[in-house]
Amino acid sequence: MSQEPIIKISQLVKKYKGSSVNAVDSLDLTINEGDIFGLLGPNGAGKTTTISMLCSLMSPNSGSIIINGIELNGNNNELKKIIGVVPQEIALYENLTAKENLKFFGEMYGLSGKSLNDKIEFYLNKFSLKEKSDKLINTFSGGMKRRLNLIAGLLHSPRILFLDEPTVGIDVQSKNVIIEYLKELNKEGTTIVYTSHLMEEAENFCTNISIIDFGKEIAKGTPKELIKENTDCNNLKEIFLKLTGRSVRE
Amino acid sequence: MNRLLASIKKELLLLSRDRAGLAMLFLMPVFLVLVMTLLQDSTFKKLNEKQLPILIVNHDADTFGINIVKGLNSANFFKVSEDNNLSKKELEKQIEKGNYLIGIIINENSTNLIKNSIKQKIQSQFPEEVGELFEIDGNKTDQVKVEIFFDPVLKNSYKQSIMGALKQFSAMVEAKLMFEIYSSLFDELLEIELKPTENFSQLVFFDEKYAASDQNLIIPNSVQHNVPAWTIFAMFFIVIPLASNIIKERQSGVSERLRTIPGSNLIGILAKAKTYFIVGFIQAILMLMIGIWLLPVFGLPSLQIGKNGLSLLFVTIAIIMAATSYGIVIGTIANSEQQSSIFGSISVVILAAIGGVWVPNFMMSDLMVNVSKISPLNWGLNAYYDIFLRNSGLYDVLPSIGLLVGFAFVCLLISLYYSRKVKT
Ligand SMILES: Nc1ncnc2c1ncn2[C@@H]1O[C@H](COP(=O)(O)OP(=O)(O)O)[C@@H](O)[C@H]1O
Ligand SMILES: [Mg+2]
């Protein structure tokens, strides 16, 4: 396993305009191809900010991001082709049906015709949305919207998938379907970068994790390694609480 | 290209599900154009009357009264009705009712009063030794008073033209009377019989010509004003669904998702512009069809669109460009859908009001006419007037097109600057 990491972040800094502190503060991360990488941290830790920079949605104040051997700066269409993004919010059109949404995003990725339709059918079946596929999504439950939000980022079969809290606030069944499918995808070779503050889920899902707080990394390794290192803790959640404290965040 | 089509398809789908938006874009203007055209029909008719209807009560059946009536009759500008039995009250009532725009009362004895004044003046030219030349009724030397009543809707320039005409006629009568009095004086003093002169009324001939480029001279009828006015108004209401679409995309995170898709940065905005272009065109065609075919059903005149299809096309394109760009800038700057709807609709209504959509330019005071020049709706409306009423060619409407396109560019530049600023 001495290959080049697929993502390498060095000394990354992001400070929002008008803010006095760095949202991401001298962050270093290394993610290897085939990882399920968990970027974990309490609310406001800087997870979304980091993901946004990885997806070229915003530019860092300093530091560098190298993805697949290419250094990110500004708009890189080649990189955009190999990444898939599942944002934290439900980034879909409320007044389109499930199918119309998927068709639109698929076409935006340059897919069309039968291959796109087949893919849409496949995913709608996979995520149990087939029956409601012609309903406007403003009639959907939170779990259904999350599943659709996920599919919209998968249609073009990306090599790297960024997921920002994909399972937050939804029913157990929806969570389970999502996590199980992501594992399947990973087995087929997709690198997954996932943020969460749900430690139980992360513990059995991620191959590697990094815990960040106030924009800085405070722990990293495999879940097993971390539990071994912290002898006073039985699981990831306890480690997390020990490291980030028990006070309530934003 | 595929992506652009996909985006346009998506925008059309979204719009087709936006019932309030559709009603605003298509039903509201149809309703407004019907109601406003019918409401303003009689007002426009009055303003538009080639001959101003005048009601005269002439109590002076002598040179002055007769010649004033004759003079007004001979000027093609007025349609004179004479009813000498009306009281002042009754005449005022006729004006109030709108049956006539102008009422004139010529008082009894006016001719005699004028004669007396002339005789007095002549007498005063002679030395006292000459003695009394005329028999002058000493009490009847007051000034002659002609009373005039105007309908308040009458434009100032019309008031001035009637006053001008009256002054001209009375000067002529005065000259005629003076001539007569001098003639009779010569008769008496020199015992020469002078031949009567007939025509000395017009020593100078005024050749009147209308400069067609003068905006104020051509007054449209209710249809010619209201159809283009509400069409432009409706096209500017594109702003509201368009801006709220942009804001929805931004707030839902869709626009961020789109930014992670390769090569789709400008497609979104381009697709919106094209979609609303289609919408604007449908609006324009719908409204023109209503003007041409539906309004006549209600007893109104049919819309005349002139002969210059090319000018019409380009002006329409320029108006839609201005409207869509305005929508884009509001969608970019506003923080919420509510904010954009309120600001969008209020600003369009205000721009319409000052732009001469509700009350046309030619009914406005000079101050408001100048203010109206800042409204893009006014630029569009004037261009439509030019095409419909004056058959203006592309060259003539180029200034309006330039302003509208310039406005569009400024809006787009502001949105571009603003969206850059927000990203980081
Ligand atoms: N657009 C923004 N402007 C200013 N501050 C922001 C903005 N977005 C996030 N922040 C701040 O940056 C920090 C990190 O936020 P974020 O990356 O969203 O955290 P997380 O995703 O881990 O919950 C927080 O303190 C948050 O308040
Ligand atoms: Mg977040």
Q: pLDDT (tens digit, 9 = 90+) per residue, B364-379?
A: 888 888 999 999 999 9
From the CA atom positions of chain A, what is the Rg in Å? 18
Tell me the residue length of chain A. 250
* Pocket, ligand 1, Cβ cutoff 6 A: A 16, 19, 23, 41, 43-49
Q: Where are the domains of chain A?
A: 5-244
Residue from B252, B260, B267, B272 to probe the interface with A (highest A Cβ count within 10 Å): B260
The domain A5-244 is placed in CATH, from the list 3.90.230.10, 3.10.450.50, 3.30.300.30, 3.40.50.300, at 3.40.50.300
pLDDT at B175: 86
Question: How many whole angstroms from A5 Cα to the centroid of ligand 2?
Answer: 24
Which residue, chain included where needed, has tokens 């998702």? B257
**pLDDT for residue B92 is more than 80:** yes
Chain B residues whose beta carbon lies within 8 Å of the beta carbon of residue A61: none
Contact A37, A208 (CB under 8 A): yes
Greater confidence, A161 or B115? Answer: A161
Q: Could you say which of A56, A85, A104 has the minimum Cβ distance to residue B6?
A: A104
Quick: pLDDT tens for B318-328.
Answer: 999 999 999 99
The verdict on a CB contact (< 8 Å) between B256 and A57 is: yes
B316 CA to centre of own chain: 21
Q: What is the pTM of this model?
A: 0.77
Question: How many whole angstroms from A46 Cα to the centroid of ligand 1?
Answer: 6
Size of interface A-B (CB pairs under 8 A): 81
The verdict on a CB contact (< 8 Å) between B262 and A81 is: yes
Residues at Cβ < 5 Å from ligand 2 ion: A 47-48
pLDDT tens digit at each of 250 positions of chain A = 457 899 999 999 999 988 999 999 999 999 999 999 999 999 999 999 999 999 989 999 999 999 999 898 877 888 999 999 999 999 999 999 999 999 999 999 999 999 999 999 999 999 999 999 999 999 999 999 999 999 999 999 999 999 999 998 899 999 999 999 999 999 999 999 999 989 999 998 999 999 999 999 999 999 999 888 888 888 888 888 888 887 777 7
Contacts of B40 (CB under 8 A, 6+ apart): B222, B225, B226
Q: Could you say which of A52, A80, A107 has the minimum Cβ distance to residue B6?
A: A107
Closest CA to B280 of B7, B26, B30, B36: B26
Measured between CA atoms, the residue of chain B closest to residue A77 is B262
Tell me the angle at which helices B2-16 and B267-289 cross, rounded to the nearest 10 degrees. 50
Q: Which of residues 245-264 of B touch A (CB under 8 A)?
A: 248, 252-254, 256-264
DSSP state for residue A35 in the 8-state scheme: -
Residues B88-107: what's their mean pLDDT?
87
Question: How many whole angstroms from B180 Cα to the centroid of ligand 2?
Answer: 104
CA distance A54 to A60: 10
The verdict on a CB contact (< 8 Å) between A77 and B256 is: no
Q: Does B421 touch chain A (CB under 8 A)?
A: no
The residue whose CA has the least distance to atom 26 of ligand 1 is A44
The verdict on a CB contact (< 8 Å) between A91 and B253 is: yes
What ligand has the least distance to the C-alpha of A40? 1
Tell me the nearest-neighbour CA distance from B2 into chain A, angstroms: 7
Return the bridge partners of B79, or none.
B53
CA distance B24 to B161: 44
CA distance B41 to B308: 26
Measured between CA atoms, the residue of chain A closest to residue B267 is A108
The verdict on a CB contact (< 8 Å) between A94 and B6 is: no
pLDDT at A176: 93
Q: Where are the domains of chain B?
A: 2-46+217-422, 51-202
Q: Looking at the predicted complex, does its ipTM rise above 0.90?
A: yes
Banded model confidence at residue B170, pLDDT cuts 50, 70, 90: confident
CA distance A14 to A23: 6
Q: Which is the closest atom of ligand 1 to the Cα of A43?
A: 23
Q: Could you say which of A77, A94, A105 has the minimum Cβ distance to residue B262?
A: A77
Residues B245-262: what's their mean pLDDT?
92
Banded model confidence at residue B203, pLDDT cuts 50, 70, 90: low
The residue whose CA has the least distance to atom 12 of ligand 1 is A23
Q: Which tokens go with B279?
A: 């919408």
For domain B51-202, the question of CATH label 1.10.3470 is answered with: no
The verdict on a CB contact (< 8 Å) between B424 and A109 is: no
The verdict on a CB contact (< 8 Å) between A96 and B261 is: no
Measured between CA atoms, the residue of chain B closest to residue A54 is B260
The residue whose CA has the least distance to atom 18 of ligand 1 is A48
Q: Which is the closest atom of ligand 1 to the Cα of A165?
A: 21
Return the bridge partners of B56, or none.
B82, B104
